[in-house]
Structure 1
Amino acid sequence: MAPFPSRLVDTTRVASYFSSFPVKNCEYDALPTIQKALNSTIYSCTAPGTKAQRKAEYRHTNPAGNLFGLCFSLSEADRLGYTVQFIEFLCIVDDVMEDLPFKEACREHCFLREALSDGYYQDEYEAEPIGRSRKFLRDIRTELLNDNDPSSLVLLQTLDMSLEHRDSLDVEFLTLEDYIPYRKKNFDYEFVCQLVRWAMKIPMKFSPEKELLVSKYEHSIGVTAGLTNDYFSWEMERNQPTDRLRNAVAVLIKEHSIPESEAKVMLKEHIMKEEKKALELMHESESNKEDFEQVTRYLTALELFAAGYSFWCSTCPRYHRIQKDDFN
């Protein structure tokens, strides 16, 4: 199947959107598919009236555009629903884990990973929040493996590795350079890259020559998207009760002994530099005389992912109208 039709978004009306990447949205035709997948995920992985469910529902109240319509507009129509389910599942898990002490969060991630193994079994914890998510993940795994598509197995293996490494370091980052590799891991970025490929039905791995260019581009987009999220989520995260504050603004404040207003300016400049690197790599792909058509399609999808995510972060109520009392 082809992707749902998408339209260019007029970003000039949003002063807070500072990316030069164009934004597209496929929700106009894809919204029923997106909403069905969202409902399935939210109400399977969270219990009625819980903080996790309220946060999940609030995440999708952005009048400027749906998160998934903005970020995954090149996904094949028959795989967009799974894409929504995977990403929303990870968002819910993140919401739950950030409220737990570090060691407990690590144990819960291990518990989730069992759903991706052959040794999974149903147990008495299934009605609890993490048990709900574990069963949901197991059901998706069963569906995908029944199709006997090797790329689905690669995708699930990448998800397992992502769950193993996310939020796995209990350290204080002293420099932005040290923080960035962690930020990409905690953003599930390697999984996101594989999910984009899988959803577009393009190779999960290109030739070594092509992968060299692709890996550089993936890095720049990962840095751009991850740090953009930090930029816009800082006001929400700065006062959260947690034993581990993970945000580039906090890192820059400590690294350079500067106030947060200066740290945000510095972070924005770093994001724009990384975006410029990505644009240069895109031009290199487009000018290549060899068969780089699928590579360019993939890089375009990543650009649209970063653009859509940046636009969503710059407009969503979650980061701009923080409803503290609703989520206590």
Structure 2
Amino acid sequence: MYREAEHIIATLGRDWAAVFGGNNHDHHTGENTISRYVHCLILPEARPDRFEHTVWFSEFFILVDENTENLTREMARTNLNPKLAKILADRGQKDPESAVEKLLVPPIRNPLRKGSIRGCRVLNAWQYWLLNVDAKGLEDSDTLEDYEEFRIINCGLMPYTYMVEYAMEPTLTDTKRQDAKKLERLAFKCIGQRVMNAILVAMKTKSLTTHQAIILVKNRVMQFQQDLLAMRDEILSASAVSDDMRKYVNGYLWIVSGNELWQSTCPRYHHQLHVEL
């Protein structure tokens, strides 16, 4: 799995450089030599024929996010992101002409070929992300709750609702899928805190000292995690829980734990270790 991810990421990196002139950002998914690629940690139960597609799309939009940090918010929202969103909206129906289309159209066709309905949902979710990411800045959050909702969108978490289904292809009724919705939101809040930024928001909106904000955010994150585990146990303790539902529910736990493991072992966050969380 790691070797496959490494190959996909290296190939995409070269293709990206040929189209966009290289990744000028210091951060990349290969920087973590301890837990390796986050893609393998968050979707370890992906079907082999779907894994490559989930890795490619995850890495592509990580590259988009990292490189648009070199642009102003206005430039990203009026230039690059709408162009990419339009290519996604076309669903690969047109033969690619531009260099960007030649990079993006073949991968778009893959999930549609493998699983049309689930593939469309994945593409719709990434299209929504492109058009809404960085719609506002950290300074625009009036409450910690506003910030949490903002991070869920901004971190690209919402597409993983559909990535999980596409990658694992569980058989679920609409009722069972709805049962997992609250768990999904808790899972995303666990990741979406982005602790250091949440501390700044808490300090600003609640007029707290740094230490007070750290304690508040720490307790909030721990409560989200406890609630997530309790809800997981409640759903899975019901009678006649199918294997597919069990995998689907646990899939969200993999997303949370995989992200936490990757971030806790990633060098870019080591300078934050002095903060007692």
* Residues 262 and 43 of structure 1: CA distance in aligned 2, closer, same or farther (over 3 Å): farther
Q: Which residue of 1 is the match for residue 45 of structure 2? A: 74
Tell me the distance in 1 between the aligned counterparts of 2:113 and 2:266.
37
Q: Percent identical across equivalent pairs?
A: 23
* Contact kept in structure 1, 2:118 and 2:162, CA below 8 Å: no
- Asked if 1:38 is matched to 2:9, the reply is yes
The C-alpha deviation readout for 1:231-262, integer Å capped at 9, x for no partner, is 2xx3xxxxxxxxxxxx3222111012223343
Structure 2: stretches of 5+ with no match in the other structure: 273-277
The C-alpha deviation readout for 1:107-142, integer Å capped at 9, x for no partner, is 22111112113386534xx3xxxx4xx543222112
- Asked if 1:317 is matched to 2:255, the reply is no
Tell me the distance in 2 between the aligned counterparts of 1:135 and 1:55.
25
- Asked if 1:102 is matched to 2:73, the reply is yes
Q: Which residue of 1 is the match for residue 180 of structure 2? A: 214
Match of 1:174 among 138, 142, 152: 142
Tell me the distance in 2 between the aligned counterparts of 1:249 and 1:111.
34
Tell me the distance in 2 between the aligned counterparts of 1:177 and 1:148.
35
* Contact kept in structure 2, 1:285 and 1:292, CA below 8 Å: no
Tell me the distance in 1 between the aligned counterparts of 2:108 and 2:22.
27
Structural mapping, 1:7-26, within 5 Å:
none
Shift of the alpha carbon at 1:303? 0.3
* Contact kept in structure 2, 1:37 and 1:82, CA below 8 Å: no
- Asked if 1:200 is matched to 2:168, the reply is yes
Q: Secondary structure at the match of 1:189?
A: coil
Structure 1: stretches of 5+ with no match in the other structure: 1-29, 235-246, 323-328
Structural mapping, 1:114-263, within 5 Å:
114-118=86-90, 122-123=97-98, 126=99, 131=100, 135-147=102-114, 149-169=116-136, 172-203=140-171, 206-208=173-175, 210-227=176-193, 230-231=194-195, 234=196, 247-263=197-213
* Contact kept in structure 1, 2:5 and 2:52, CA below 8 Å: yes
Shift of the alpha carbon at 1:184? 0.7
The C-alpha deviation readout for 1:180-212, integer Å capped at 9, x for no partner, is 111111122220121011101124x6323x233
* Residues 260 and 100 of structure 1: CA distance in aligned 2, closer, same or farther (over 3 Å): farther
- Tell me the amino acid that sits aligned with residue 53 of structure 2: Y
- Tell me the amino acid that sits aligned with residue 184 of structure 1: I
Tell me the distance in 1 between the aligned counterparts of 2:23 and 2:262.
24
The C-alpha deviation readout for 1:24-68, integer Å capped at 9, x for no partner, is xxxxxx12211111112222223566413x532xx3132321222
Q: Which residue of 2 is the match for residue 267 of structure 1? A: 217
Tell me the distance in 2 between the aligned counterparts of 1:61 and 1:301.
25
Tell me the distance in 1 between the aligned counterparts of 2:261 and 2:159.
21
- Asked if 1:86 is matched to 2:57, the reply is yes
* Contact kept in structure 1, 2:50 and 2:167, CA below 8 Å: yes
Q: CA RMSD in A?
A: 2.3
Q: Which residue of 2 is the match for residue 113 of structure 1? A: 85
